[in-house]
Structure 1
Amino acid sequence: MTVEVDAAVAQAFRDEWGQVVATLIRITGDWDLAEECAQDAFAQAVRNWPRDGVPRRPGAWLTTVARNRATDRLRRDAVGAAKLREVAAMPPEPYTEDDSGVPDDRLRLMFTCCHPALALESRVALTLRTLAGLTTAEIARAFLVGEQTMAKRLVRAKQKIRHAGIPYRVPAAHLLPERTPAVLGVLYLLFNEGYSATAGADLVRRGLTGEAIRLARVLAELMPDEPEAVGLLALMLLQDARRAARLDPAGELVTLSEQDRSRWDAAEIDEGLALLDGALRRGNAGQYQVQAAIAACHAKAEDAADTDWAQIAALYGWLARFVPSPVVELNRAVAVGMAAGPAAGLDLVDALGATGALTGYHLLPATRADLLRRLDRAAEAAVAYREALDLAATEAERRYLGRRLAEVTAGSTP
């Protein structure tokens, strides 16, 4: 496959996967069949496009191939006779007309997928898998569960849709609010996977962060009176503003305290701060606004030493009321360790570790290692760094942890 065709297939996957799958779900009512036929269509593109050339409208080509594959599958299934007639009548272009008022195709599909009959977590996970194209393993890591556990949850969610006859239909405008929390959750986790990938060679997946910001901006413009939508956009912008400083020219991870803040995107910071200020003035704070306020503390600090860690620790305590998560508690421990000293932070980390809630999460031993390093307990820090190395899944993080391990085993600290 030529480089050009390879890039075209990759671009088509990013742009068209969700639409192709959603179209087949709407017609067949079968989530598994839709995903399988979409996969077959992309596999056929890999085989055919190098020979025949990239089609002028890749999305229409993929939809047609996927539709034909679904037709073949249903033809072999006697109980699919009625659906076969529907698939045969499917228009070549994905149907998008509706009265939702949502101006973006992909965002409409997310609202469609986030049906309130499913548990919130199931809605978010299913949408990430079906429309965003994240793997089951990536979604599992986002929810801090095993891949098999997440796979079973996705299967159960699809079974509930099938058995309960839940329609795959774009909701009317007045039904959007009940689905908004799930859509916010999808966009938040999509951005997180792009900002700090859970596995692979690249720490940052710019395509995911860019798409999440784009969709969050559309949502915030659609719902200007929804402070959490605005807060989420503010959070993304304040985090994304650091992207140029997060890796050095060699692609190595640069921690927040060591980043060159002159490389942070001032325009994104200014926009994020203004959005956050407007959202907070509404007096209805939620988890995304609080997280944006934490990011704002970093954005406002002239340098690492000027960071208001006491305020950040307090904000994490506030965040825990909305999101009683062990990851939030770990972040609070980091902030306490910076505000009150590494010993205070280590006490919180060890207490959290004793609960077993973050077993297998590489940032727990990595955080513990850093606190031990700052306490000049090099031998213990080395043990913790090795544990974190065994668990880390991205190459950039592994190299960073390896450098830290080398420092403590050499008896030196930066």
Structure 2
Amino acid sequence: MEDAHSGGYRPFDVETVKAHVAGLPAVAERLGEGSAGLSAREVGDGNLNLVFIVEGPAGAVVVKQALPYVRLVGDSWPLPLSRAFFEWNALTRQAAIRPERLPQLFHFDATNALVVMEYLTPHVILRKELIAGKRFESLAGHMGTFLAETLFRTSDLSLETARKKADVALFSNNVALCAITENLVFTDAYFDAPLNRWTRPGLDKAALALRADRAVKIAAQEMLQVFTTKTEALLHGDLHTGSVMVTGDDTRVIDPEFAFYGPMGFDIGAFLANLLLAYFSQEGHEGADGERDEYGEWLLATVEAVWAIFADRFRELWRTERTGILFARSVFEDEGDGLGAEIALARFLDGLFADTAGFAGAKMIRRLVGLAHVEDMESIADETRRAACEARALAMGRELLVNRGRLSDVSAITSLARAISRQKDLP
């Protein structure tokens, strides 16, 4: 699609954004008529975009605007504004499946590359709450179900073939955002890329060892091959704990600007990777030895529950909504071969689990020695403690990536995490 930058785009500030949204009927009704009583503040703390909260007498909205460059780096790294188009299209498709897991959508402006949506309150970013040691008992159920339904229902297992192919074609134009993933997640960590960084000198030995680790480099490239060739379902594309907002009993998924059609395991693996990063960071947030052991166990239990709930719901959908071109009922159940369908389901989930583990490993590694890190680790003030936590997380990422096909089930992942967390002599 043509980049919005060519058609009168202008970046907003806290003053100009108020006048703009006041002129949008659906948004003005949400805020209260007129712009005189509006207030706005810019709250974007991510790597790419401007994010405003605009408040009025009757309510508030969030305005997310793409910038023509990577905000984290600056205008030396240009980025197409069309990513807002892909985000809007992903949000509308996911909202048709699980609207209660997303913010309500009000307006899309292609010219100015912005999306206006519900201001989620009292929701907070999940990552910050995990750093604080807070538990969310509904999180696994909400995320496992959201992943199962959005992935299954946008795949050839369910979606009508012509519509699926049209969507694959549409989202295939999200080239620049996919390139960020292809480089930062699967490539840059394994050579002397200019933007790589890590905790120095404590993580030097482990970070540099990746470049000489033939097994992990091959595994990373194998996962890149899966990422670039397997158009299974519509992915969020950047599903980390900073893209999830929570309350005690609600969970919302935001920011799918990296959306494209790819391997299901990428979204699942990304989310599990971030729970595992939170787990390995816990020792760095302790005030006393062992203070967060129980919380760490809750995080691992959540890893297990997300996969288990995902797999259970996926099985239900396979048995009740398998109306697409893949594994057609006419080949199995209608021929009296229900057992064949169940065997195919088990094999499908086995392959998906291996992909999930491999992608989780790649995502963990990139968040430790690549460009953009995670606050879970970065907020550990003591560099020696931080490097120790990161070394164990890096070892976990390597094991998931290299041995992804040898892990029998999700409990093997959590058992591996416990074993690595007890190792005190990692480089």
Fold conserved (TM > 0.5)?
Answer: no
Larger radius of gyration: 1
Higher fraction of strand: 2
Higher fraction of helix: 1
TM-score by length of 2: 0.27
